[in-house]
Structure 1
Amino acid sequence: MTITLFLISVIGAYLLGSIPTSVWYGIGYFGVDVRQYGSGNAGATNTFRVLGKRAGTIVMLIDVLKGWTATCLALLLYYFNTIDAGELLTYKIIFGIIAIAGHIFPVFVGFKGGKGVATLLGMVLAVHPELALLCITIFILTLLTSQYVSLSSILATLAFPVLSLLRVFGQPDTLLVVFGFVMFLLVVITHQKNIVRLFKGSESRVKLFGNSRSGN
């Protein structure tokens, strides 16, 4: 495989993930740095809290698109015959993880970004869209019943490898299962404070059809 094209793709995936959507959008359209308000997190959930539902939705969709686009860079390598079909999943996962790392540690804003859940969703949509949609359903149902964004994110992420092992969509790919559990571990690590608040009963809730508040 051409090393130069691979390196360009790696850098591209990281820079895509590093785009600080919430920060740039908040400052550009509202003159507000979301990191100075709410939870201080540079992610979609804090944007919902600080700037409202419309702004939060825009930020979330762009962050999802970041993950999807970065993951699909693997198709570029395949198009130029630098990898074969059997390697496509591997490189999708590599570029997706790099994009998530970029979102969590963005070069554009001092390597302090969001928690990567929306970017992870975009990655999963590119890797396995059917399973991703099922995980989205689990996220929505959990959020509707519990009103905890953090809990919904954790359970939806865990559902990915578990549903793979249950062969919901056929024989599971070992790499996909391992990737799923690694991503679950990453989400747990980035949500440590939320988990502590959940156990203490002090985690804030978010209302989909009212004023939004969350500790995520």
Structure 2
Amino acid sequence: MWTYLLFILIAYLLGSIPSGLIVGKVFYQTDIREHGSGNLGATNTFRVLGKKAGIIVTLADILKGTLAASLPFLFNQPELSALIIGIFAVIGHMYPVFANFRGGKAVATSGGMILGVNPLLFLIILATFLIVLYICKYVSLSSILTSIIAVITSFLLSDYGSLILTSILAVFIIYRHIPNIKRIVNKSEPKVTWI
């Protein structure tokens, strides 16, 4: 019981590490919360600080989720649920204690968590995200559609643990993107420019 609680706390603290804020302040002397959408996630980092910073923050946010979900295996506690523990990294990313509970939108950290639990599913959703993003050019819409496809894929694979996980993550992601949905409807949501 105490080990479970300790791992949940560690996962939350891992998720709370504000990658975008750290990269922005340390290397660019910029608080990305004061620019763009004001969000601490990778998408706003790309828009405010550029591709290099965006890639670094994306990888860091993915790693947070993967590391959190891997805690039971790293510490030889396979009886503990990686799904339950990993979810708290996503919560930490959305509501980070180190950044006044103003975090990202759960996409990259959710992906990292899935990578730690089901690498095949991660590859499927990564390919889905990139294809949808290329077609529609909206990061937010790609994230929402990918989260839904992750649920459907988990069901088709009869992976009911991942089905529960992806369903919870889809709810998080869709909820966090409600403002983006409104901007897509009124055509004010920024699009990705492919070069």
Q: TM-score of the superposition, structure 2-length normalised? A: 0.95
Which one-letter code corresponds to 2:55 in the other structure?
T
Partner of 2:134: 144
Of 159, 164, 174 in structure 2, the residue corresponding to residue 173 of structure 1 is: 159
Partner of 2:85: 95
| Residue 162 of structure 1, CA deviation | 0.2
Of 63, 66, 80 in structure 2, the residue corresponding to residue 65 of structure 1 is: 63
Of 169, 187, 190 in structure 2, the residue corresponding to residue 201 of structure 1 is: 187
Secondary structure at the aligned position of 2:58 is classed as: helix
1:117 maps onto 2:69 in alignment: no
Deviates more, 1:155-164 or 1:132-141: 155-164
Secondary structure at the aligned position of 2:36 is classed as: coil
Of 16, 22, 25 in structure 1, the residue corresponding to residue 23 of structure 2 is: 25
| Residue 156 of structure 1, CA deviation | 1.0
Which one-letter code corresponds to 2:70 in the other structure?
C
Query: Which runs of no fewer than 5 residues in structure 2 stay unpaired?
Result: none
Task: Deviation per CA, 1:79-116: give whole Å up to 9, x if none.
Answer: 1xx553xxx5xx11111110000001101111111111
**Paired-residue identity, %:** 43
Larger radius of gyration: 1
Cα 1:137–1:83 shift into 2, 3 Å: closer
Partner of 1:192: 178
Secondary structure at the aligned position of 1:72 is classed as: helix
| Residue 174 of structure 1, CA deviation | 2.3
| Residue 202 of structure 1, CA deviation | 2.4
Question: Could you tell me how far apart the structure 2 residues matched to 1:193 and 1:5 are?
Answer: 38
Question: Could you tell me how far apart the structure 2 residues matched to 1:49 and 1:61 are?
Answer: 16
Query: Which runs of no fewer than 5 residues in structure 1 stay unpaired?
Result: 210-216
Partner of 1:35: 33
Question: Could you tell me how far apart the structure 2 residues matched to 1:46 and 1:64 are?
Answer: 16
1:160 maps onto 2:150 in alignment: yes
Question: Could you tell me how far apart the structure 1 residues matched to 2:28 and 2:90 are?
Answer: 26
